[in-house]
Structure formats: C-alpha cells, structure tokens
Amino acid sequence: MKRYLILLIFMAFISCGNNENKIESEKNSAADLDRKYKEIGQRITEESFNTLRNKLMEAMASREISGAIEFCNIAAYPITDSLSKEFNAQIKRTTFKFRNPNNAPNDKEAAILEYYEKLHASGTQPKDSVITINDKQVWYIRPIFVQGICQNCHGNIGSTIAQNNYDVIKKLYPEDKAIDYKSGDFRGIWSVIINTDDKK
C-alpha cells in the first residue's frame, strides 16, 4: 500500500510540469532546480560509472574475468564510497535481481524500480528523475541498462558467462540473482541522495 502511495507521489511529481495553474515564477524555479540537480546527478552517476567501468576493464585485462569479479567484490564499495564523499551524496546501485544483498532496494526504491520496469516493458525508455525529499536533500534516480560487456558477468551461465567464472561469482555471492540479462534489458537504478546545502 505504502509502495503505491509513493508511486502516486512520484507520478504526480513527474507530471507536475504540465500543471498550467501554477504561478509562472514558481514553475520556473521548480524547473530550474530540477534541471540543476539532474545535471549534478548525471555528473555523479557518469563519474561513478566511468570509474567502476575503467577499473573493471583494467582488472579484466590484467587478471581475466575471474580476477575482475574478485576485484568488483572488493572494490565496488570503496569506489562508490569515495565518490560519495567527493560529491557529498549517498551513491547506490539497486535492483530487484541483485548480486550483493547489500544492494537490495528499500521500499521507495522498490516502487521506482517497479514503475521503471513496467514502463520499459511497455516499450518506453525510462528517464532520469529528481524528487525533492526536504529542503536539504534531493533524490536523483537514473535507470541502468545492460550493455554487451555486462553479459560476461550478468548473462547466461555456460554461454556468455563461462562456468568457471560463475563458480567464482557463486562463491562470493551465494544468493546471486543478477544473471540471464540480455543487452538492452533494464538492470536497475542509480539511487543518489544529494545534499542540497552543499556549498559547491
């Protein structure tokens, strides 16, 4: 029930740009803030993704996939942690089919994931969104899609994921659910809480 309420608020939020009764200046400042935090959110998630991807590629090149899996296991947290500090934001990746149970969604994230999944399934590409939490924090959400390279670790066991690599994954993540993805699939979201009282 709570989940649907949050979803309604979310839908009201993303459609409020069409509310013609709004006073013009209010409309502009809300749109300005939305744009500003979208840009900040995009910078944070792009930098996080690039950092993770570059490190992953390096690890895959020098240690092969099994080494890269171990690397991801050790390094995904410190990397997002240090970027969180740098941007004064809490950066998280979350999904229903998670590999690391620490990445499981909370209630609000689950509502967004459900909404994005339905949208994607109906043929509409979900876009990034900004939701105001209070006067000190905004929530930036960005969908994550599967690319070819991801299938090495999130595809089909025995075809895109070699069995010996999957053995390494299973050892580190006994409850892994993050497989059977194809290129273009909706994989999850970046969920970023940005502190708006930051002076930057």
Tokens of 163: 């069995």
Tell me whether residue 27 or residue 187 sits nearer to ligand HEC (CB atom): 187
Stretch that binds ligand HEC, among 9-17, 21-29, 123-131, 151-159 (CB under 6 A): 151-159
* Shortest Cβ 55–ligand HEC spacing (Å): 10
Among 42, 51, 90, 147, the residue binding ligand HEC under the rule CB under 6 A is: 147
Q: Could you say which residues in the range 17-56 bind ligand HEC, by CB under 6 A?
A: 56
Residue identified by tokens 């939020």 is 13
Neighbour tally for 63: CB within 10 Å: 13
Among 6, 34, 93, 130, the residue binding ligand HEC under the rule CB under 6 A is: 93
- The Cα 103–Cα 96 span in angstroms is 9
103 binds ligand HEC (CB under 6 A): yes
188 binds ligand HEC (CB under 6 A): yes
Tell me whether residue 4 or residue 77 sits nearer to ligand HEC (CB atom): 77
Mask 112-141, x = binds ligand HEC (CB under 6 A)? Answer: ------------------------------
Are 191 and 141 contacting, i.e. CB atoms less than 8 angstroms apart? yes
Closest CA to 131 of 3, 21, 9: 9
- The Cα 174–Cα 170 span in angstroms is 5
DSSP state of 135: T
State CA 64 to chain mean position distance. 26
Tell me whether residue 65 or residue 141 sits nearer to ligand HEC (CB atom): 65
Identify the helix (H) or strand (E) that includes residue 60. Answer: helix 24-87
Are 169 and 176 contacting, i.e. CB atoms less than 8 angstroms apart? yes
Are 192 and 92 contacting, i.e. CB atoms less than 8 angstroms apart? yes
Among 113, 131, 138, 150, the residue binding ligand HEC under the rule CB under 6 A is: 150
Burial label for 75, CB within 10 Å (0-12, 13-18, 19+), is middle
Q: Could you say which residues in the range 59-78 bind ligand HEC, by CB under 6 A?
A: 60, 65, 68-69, 72-73, 76
146 binds ligand HEC (CB under 6 A): yes
193 binds ligand HEC (CB under 6 A): no
Give the footprint of ligand HEC on this chain (CB under 6 A).
56, 60, 65, 68-69, 72-73, 76, 93, 95, 98-100, 103, 144, 146-147, 149-150, 152-154, 178, 187-188
